[in-house]
Amino acid sequence: MSWDLIDYKHKKVIDKLPIQCKKKYAVFKYIAQCTGLDGLSASPGFKLEMLKGKLAGLYSIRLNIAYRVIFEVKSEIQVIEILEVSKHEYNL
């Protein structure tokens, strides 16, 4: 079964990413569409994390040290919706 990945709201941001981030995003998108969350958790290069605090219930993956993708997984309808693609701000 394939998963739907909803990212159309973030196309402009994705297009402006550094080239290595675009390539990793393309791999993320392929794995997410083919295998969903199971495939992403089996791929250590993405550093899949379940978020806490005000973002509890959401997940993130890292494209590189500076950029991450925040997304919501709707398992019952096999949809992954991208909520944010941005530079990661570290709380020091």
**Confidence (pTM):** 0.89
Three-state secondary-structure class, residue 68 = strand
Residue with tokens 């969903």: 36
What pLDDT is attached to residue 91?
A: 59
Residue with tokens 């959401």: 58
What pLDDT is attached to residue 22?
A: 96
d(CA 46, CA 76): 23
d(CA 59, CA 36): 12
d(CA 23, CA 77): 27
Domains contained in the chain, CATH given: 21-87 (3.30.2310.20)
CA 84, chain centre distance (Å): 8
Q: pLDDT tens-digit profile of 23-69?
A: 999 999 999 999 999 999 998 889 999 999 999 999 999 999 899 99
